[in-house]
Structure 1
């Protein structure tokens, strides 16, 4: 009986322990940083312009134009606020790397602010992964880019390399 148990133990697949591989969550980077900066500048200008309509010297406070001025300033304020919040970091999805289930999940916050899974892929269904100094690119089986994620620290890069080692082809 002990010989059978030793045989089974030799052939058993070693599951990763939680101490060795910790689940990682990475937030996606904004796609176009220039567009993000431009929208923030325009949003700030619209918010300041909404207040400037009432502060500027020479603006008449006639009863006929006061209602129109109020409507324009509220419109400027709301549009400016919307432009500032378009690429806010809380609106970006998160990529969650789970070493126990051996899968990557993309989580997006729903209308109530709760994370909701929008993509789930097993490590064995990934084509390859490429690490650079600041980014990690996951490729699909056909060679197309599945996702590009920013890597902030060398510790995160090392943890991802150990998780994806052998499960997806790691290119440099």
Structure 2
């Protein structure tokens, strides 16, 4: 009996960017919205269709079909809404960049990368691009405050990235 090591590591897998540039997610959300609206309109159309049959057995079936169709339609329409972009937090004291999603009172850290683990940093005036440890674009920061920009550039220089 022998065991082998799988040479595939997590570093060789292509990282998922925060936002994709192609329109596949937009098309899927659009299709989801159209399907949700169609289900809701179909649920309403069952009741206002001319010449509808009002037998008690069929009314119960129509009620069940329209309730399920309306609930699924509302669920699809809620998924149609574009999610908010994650918030970028640059902590010059802890020397790290965080991507945070805030939902109500909850705060979820999506990604965290120390300045020393950044693969690349581009500085063009007041605009900085930071690439994470896996090579994916982590954040684009446009610092309008001169003191904050200077603090960030200094922290990146201390980490050896600029």
Q: Same fold (TM over 0.5)?
A: yes
1:124 corresponding residue in structure 2 = 116
Aligned-partner Cα distance in 1 for 2:60–2:160: 62
2:30–2:80 contact (8 Å) kept in structure 1:
no
Q: List alignment gaps of at least 5 residues for structure 2.
A: 1-17
Structure 1, 47-56 or 94-103: larger mean CA deviation: 94-103
Aligned-partner Cα distance in 2 for 1:98–1:118: 14
TM superposition shift of 1:137: 6.9
Aligned-partner Cα distance in 2 for 1:74–1:114: 32
TM-score, normalization by structure 2: 0.60
TM superposition shift of 1:88: 2.4
2:58 equivalent to 1:73: no
2:88 equivalent to 1:96: yes
TM superposition shift of 1:108: 3.6
TM superposition shift of 1:57: 0.8
Distance 1:109 1:139, change over 3 A: same
TM-score, normalization by structure 1: 0.57
2:98 equivalent to 1:105: yes
Aligned-partner Cα distance in 2 for 1:43–1:69: 18
1:33 corresponding residue in structure 2 = 26
Higher relative contact order (CA 8 A, sep 6+): 1
SS at the partner of 1:116?
A: strand
Q: Count residues with an aligned counterpart.
A: 129
2:38–2:73 contact (8 Å) kept in structure 1:
yes
1:124–1:168 contact (8 Å) kept in structure 2:
yes
Match of 1:59 among 52, 57, 61: 52
2:76 equivalent to 1:83: yes
CA-atom RMSD, angstroms?
3.5
1:157 corresponding residue in structure 2 = 142
| 1:62-120 alpha-carbon deviations (Å, 9 max, x no partner) | 1001111111111111111111111424x54623222433322233457x751222432
Aligned-partner Cα distance in 2 for 1:168–1:75: 58
